[in-house]
Chains A and B, each alone.
Chain A
Amino acid sequence: MNVFRFMLQNRGQVLELTFEHLRLVGFSTLFAMLMGIPLGIAIAHRPRFNKPVLATANIIQTIPSLALFGFLLPVPWLGERSDRLAILALTLYALLPIIRNTYTGIRGVDPAVVEAGRGMGLTESQLLFQVELPLAVSVILSGVRVAVVISVGLATIAAAIGAGGLGEFIFRGLAMVDDRVILAGAIPAAVLALAADFGVGWLERRLQPR
C-alpha cells in the first residue's frame, strides 16, 4: 500500500514526529495528574468547592481547541515556544477527566471504612495514602486513560501553531491534498491512542482493589 511505502520512506521523520507527539502528551498528562489528583482529593474532602472547581474544568473543556491555542499565543513566556503553549493547552484539557475521576473515586470509598479508619486512630494522611487512594486508584486511572486518549487526538492540532507532533503530517497532507501524507500522521496517532488506552487500562486492572 502507498501509505505504508510513504511511511517507510520517511520513517526518520515519522519516528521523530511520533516522539514529539509523545513528549507533548506525556508532559501534559503528567502536569494534569500533578494538578488534577490533588485538586480532586481536595474537593472530595471539602464538598463546598466541588461545584466551582468542576464547573471551571468543564468550561475549559468546552473551549474549541484551535481557539485555545490561539488565545494563548500572545501570552509572553508561553508564546515564545509553541511546544510550551501546546503542553499547557493539553494540560488544561486533561484536567477535567482526572479531577472528576479522582473526586468520584475518593467519594466512592465506603464511608464505613473511612469512619472505622478514623475511629481507630489513623491520621488524615494515613487514611488518604493507605485507605482512600488505594481504593480509588482504578477509578483515578480510568480518568487518566480518558485524558491520555483525548490528548493524543488533540495534540495533532498543536501542529497548527508549530508545536510539532504527528499533526505536522496531517496539516501538510491537507495542504498538499495528499491522503498518504495525512494518513502518515493519522495512523501513528491512532496507534498511540490505542496503545495508551491499553497500557493504562492494564495498569488500572492490576491495581484494582479486590
Chain B
Amino acid sequence: MERARSSPAIEFRDVSYRVASTQVLSEFNLQVQCGETLVLLGRSGSGKTTSLKLVNRLLSPTSGEIRVKGVSNAEGDVIRLRRSIGYVIQDVGLFPHFTVERNIGLVPKIEGWPDDRIRARVQELLQTVGLAVDTASRYPHQLSGGQRQRVGVARALAADPEMLLMDEPFGALDPLTRDELQREFLFLQQRLHKTVVFVTHDLREALRLGTRIALMEAGRLVTVLSPVEFLRSTDALAAAYVRAFGEGLESAANRGTS
C-alpha cells in the first residue's frame, strides 16, 4: 500500500512563506501520496492553512516549490490547477444567490458541460453526500450548517478532481453533526480514494480521518506519523497533544478496517 510507485500527488520542497516580517512557513518539506488522507495538525498560526493555500496557489511561496503530480504548480495555468483540485473551507462559502444546484454545478457549467449532464451530476453528488435530491432547488440560507457543508463537499467534488484540500471543514459544526460527517467522509474515501489534505486542530479528528498526520508548530513540520504511531510517539509536542486530548483516543484511532 505504501509503495512509492510514482511521484507523490503533492510535494512541498523547501517551501518558505513570509508576509512582511512574519515567517509563516519555514523550509517545509512534505510528500502527500496518491489516495491518502494526510492531516495537517497544529494550533492556530502554525501554518496549516497557509500550506493548503500554497497548493492551489491562493498564495505563492517566498521560496521553494510545490509540485502537484510531479510538476511545479507555479508553471501552467492557475485556473486549470484550481479546477483540478477540490477546495472545502470551514466557512463553506456557498454562493448565497445561487441555488444548491447552481452552487454544485458552477465549475462544470463554466467548463462547458451540457445542462443535462450537469443536472445528472448534481443529483449523483447530492446522493453521494447524503442529501435529498429536492435540496437542489433550495438556497444556502434555507439549509442547516451540516447540510451546507455537505453541499460544500459536493461542490468540491463536482468536476471529479483527484485531490481535495479541506480546511477545517467540520470545525464549525456541532459535535453530533461533526461526528456524522466524519463517518461519512471515511465511507466516501473508501469508495473515491481521493488524495486529501485535511487541516484540523482537533487530534481526535486527525486520528480518525488521517492515514498520516503531519504535526506542525510555528511554521515548521515537527513530524509525520500514522495515527497509531502518533499515540505512542515520544515526541514532546505529539505527547502534549495526546495528553491534552485525554482518554478515549485509542478507541478513536482503532477505527476498525481500512
The residues of A with any CB-CB pair to B shorter than 8 Å are 110, 112-123, 126, 130-131, 134-135, 209-210
Contact = CB atoms under 8 A, between A and B. Distances in A.
B121 to A, nearest CB: 15
B170 interface: no
A120 B107 contact: yes
17 contacts: A110-B93, A114-B93, A115-B89, A115-B93, A116-B89, A116-B152, A118-B82, A119-B82, A119-B87, A120-B82, A121-B79, A121-B80, A122-B106, A122-B110, A131-B95, A135-B96, A210-B97
Interface in B89-133: 89, 91-97, 106-107, 110
Nearest to A114: B93
Nearest to B80: A121
A119 B110 CA distance: 14
Most B-side CB within 10 Å, residue of A110, A120, A122: A120
B104 to A, nearest CB: 11
A43 to B, nearest CB: 22
A209 B96 CA distance: 7
Given A112-B92, A115-B58, A115-B89, A120 B155 contact: yes
B139 interface: yes
Interface residues on B, range: 20 to 34
Contacts of B83: 120-121
B139 A210 contact: yes
A112 B58 CA distance: 13
A110 B96 CA distance: 10
Given A112-B91, A118-B58, A134 B155 contact: no
A115 B57 CA distance: 12
Interface string B154-180: 011000000001000000000000000
A122 B107 CA distance: 8
Contacts of A110: 91, 93, 96
Interface string B190-231: 000000000000000000000000000000000000000000
Contacts of B95: 113, 117, 130-131
Most A-side CB within 10 Å, residue of B91, B93, B96: B93
A191 B195 CA distance: 64
B141 interface: yes
A110 B81 CA distance: 24
Nearest to A207: B97
B56 interface: yes
A121 B110 CA distance: 10
Contacts of B91: 110, 112, 116
A109 to B, nearest CB: 9
A134 B102 CA distance: 14
